[in-house]
Structure 1
Amino acid sequence: MKIFPALLHMKIATYNVNGVNGRLAVLLKWLEETAPDIVCLQELKAPQDKFPEKALLDAGYTAIWHGQKQWNGVAILARNMEIEEITHVLPGDEDDIQSRYIEALINGMVIACLYLPNGNPATGPKLDYKLQWFKRLNKRAATLLSLKTPVILLGDFNVMPTELDVYKPEKWVDDALFRPEVRKAFHAIVSQGWTDAIRTLYPDKKIYTFWDYFRKAYERDAGLRIDHFLLSPEVATKLRAGGVDRYVRGWEKTSDHAPVWIEIDLK
């Protein structure tokens, strides 16, 4: 097994690729330009055996992933670091077969990559599933927090926590991404002691991570902030920078999400 030296300064990103094979050229271009150390991907839309492992290895990234045919799917990539998988199942429901969670130990940190259910149409079974998933995540988040070790929960949470996180919030009041009970579930996790990294860095700034393909949402900047980093206290004090690579959303054949990133200093 190859031993890598511990990194003291790291760039960590999350990116809902909306189809890892269909958007592979976009993903590889972004990786080459920005060179993050750890990347969490969501919505692979690829079965386990169709993940582009070789292309990512050629780009300098090892990976673990949990695929699913047509839908869902999550992955964690690392550059010059070993990835030790902890689990690819969010505890709490043995009957849940959707590929939405993967957790690993990298460089002394627990990285939990998640793709939270959308929940629409609300109300109904999809919203119920989302709220149950949130309950399971809440319990897992509390367990991870109790470890007193560096932990990052990151990915597509499918929730806009506040009105600042959504274009024209009055139009979203009945949507499963913005309903009061969904936002309450998100804030219940944060209140355990997690730090919303991007909102902490930009407390009053309009920041979006998703723009729909329809009605020229990107051109009008009619977006949503639904991709988040939640940092345990052991990481929150190390946060130095962060942002959204908004320009990637403007590339050809790109995802409807943009990559989001933070930088931490572990010295």
Structure 2
Amino acid sequence: MKIATYNVNGVNGRLPVLLRWLEEAQPDIVCLQELKAPQERFPIKEINDAGYNAIWKGQKSWNGVAILTKNMEITEVQRSLPGDADDDQSRYIEAIINQTVICCLYLPNGNPFPGPKFDYKLSWIKRLKKRMDELIKMDLPAVVIGDFNIIPTPSDVYKPERWEDNALYRPEVKTAYQQLLKKGWTDAIRTLYPDETVYTFWDYLYKSYSRNAGMRLDHILLSPYLAGNLKSGGVDKEVRGWEKSSDHAPVWITID
């Protein structure tokens, strides 16, 4: 089973790119972030025509998450991260596919630091950790996947010294990420490529993509139940170079 995540940075504006990638990559499950479309404007017809079913939670102008499946039944579990009834940002959707829990997330950016946006990011991470702890305790096959907006280590960003006061790289968020791994979650891509430079995002400015001045923000975490089933994975970096593409590239794994 091939599972992927892709921050599309506008699902309608970049729909040709998404459809081309789906056709070429043929993932079985896809988690999308940053739809930047209200619920009624999600391009479900085009997604269905490409051979995929979908559940999604849109939001006008920004945010938005979706889960796509190919030839598999999808059962929605929840479409918001528990723990804050007042949080109306569309950043989380969870489903069961092929007896596996799929948690698609778009974690808050948190900038500028310090400030209320960073405080919101930390509170969101706290809620996420609680949900992930629940999944561990239930001993379920689970995948937590998406744009985490966290640079986990210095090896995950070009010139890390420039990012010390950025909310993506603050000690608080790096520590929180490492705590997830200590609880038993497996960072699939780093496990497959322990010593290699792997980026998933390149800014549109400063010729970042051509210089490979990127960072790793998009992660796939596997519960202990699934960790031994990991077979392969990678980043479809070439997609970032396509015309009118997102500033993120798709990230994928295969599991038994």
Q: Name the CA distance, whole Å, in 2 between partners of 1:185 and 1:195.
A: 14
Matches within 5 A, 1:181-220: 181-220=172-211
Give me the TM-score of the superposition, normalised by structure 1: 0.95
Q: Name the CA distance, whole Å, in 2 between partners of 1:149 and 1:94.
A: 26
Establish whether residue 104 from structure 1 lines up as the match of residue 104 from structure 2: no
Q: Name the CA distance, whole Å, in 1 between partners of 2:54 and 2:181.
A: 28
After superposition, what is the alpha-carbon deviation per residue over 1:12-69, rounded to whole angstroms, capped at 9, x for unaligned?
Answer: 0000000000000000000000100000000000000000000000000000000000
Match of 2:127 in 1: 136
Amino acid at match of 1:39: V
Unaligned 5+ segments in structure 2 are none
Bigger drift between 161-170 and 187-196 goes to 187-196
Matches within 5 A, 1:24-35: 24-35=15-26
Establish whether residue 239 from structure 1 lines up as the match of residue 230 from structure 2: yes
Aligned partner of 1:86 among 77, 81, 94: 77
- Number of residue pairs aligned between Structure 1 and Structure 2: 256
| Offset, 1:145 | 1.2
Unaligned 5+ segments in structure 1 are 1-9
Aligned partner of 1:121 among 87, 112, 137: 112
Match of 2:217 in 1: 226
Q: Name the CA distance, whole Å, in 2 between partners of 1:250 and 1:166.
A: 19
Establish whether residue 22 from structure 1 lines up as the match of residue 13 from structure 2: yes
Amino acid at match of 1:194: W
Q: Name the CA distance, whole Å, in 2 between partners of 1:13 and 1:121.
A: 29
Amino acid at match of 1:222: A
Amino acid at match of 1:231: L
After superposition, what is the alpha-carbon deviation per residue over 1:88-124, rounded to whole angstroms, capped at 9, x for unaligned?
Answer: 0100101000000000000010000000000000000
Establish whether residue 38 from structure 1 lines up as the match of residue 29 from structure 2: yes
After superposition, what is the alpha-carbon deviation per residue over 1:142-200, rounded to whole angstroms, capped at 9, x for unaligned?
Answer: 01111111000000000010000000000000000001011111112221110000000
Q: Name the CA distance, whole Å, in 1 between partners of 2:136 and 2:65.
A: 22
Match of 2:254 in 1: 263
Match of 1:153 in 2: 144
User: Aligned residues: percent identity?
Assistant: 68
Q: Name the CA distance, whole Å, in 1 between partners of 2:19 and 2:68.
A: 12
Amino acid at match of 2:60: K
Q: Name the CA distance, whole Å, in 2 between partners of 1:118 and 1:95.
A: 19
Amino acid at match of 1:150: P
Amino acid at match of 1:241: S
4+ aligned runs moved over 6 Å, structure 1: none
Give me the TM-score of the superposition, normalised by structure 2: 0.99
Q: Name the CA distance, whole Å, in 1 between partners of 2:110 and 2:234.
A: 26
Q: Name the CA distance, whole Å, in 2 between partners of 1:197 and 1:128.
A: 28
Amino acid at match of 1:58: D
Q: Name the CA distance, whole Å, in 1 between partners of 2:115 and 2:104.
A: 26
Q: Name the CA distance, whole Å, in 1 between partners of 2:12 and 2:149.
A: 22
Establish whether residue 68 from structure 1 lines up as the match of residue 68 from structure 2: no
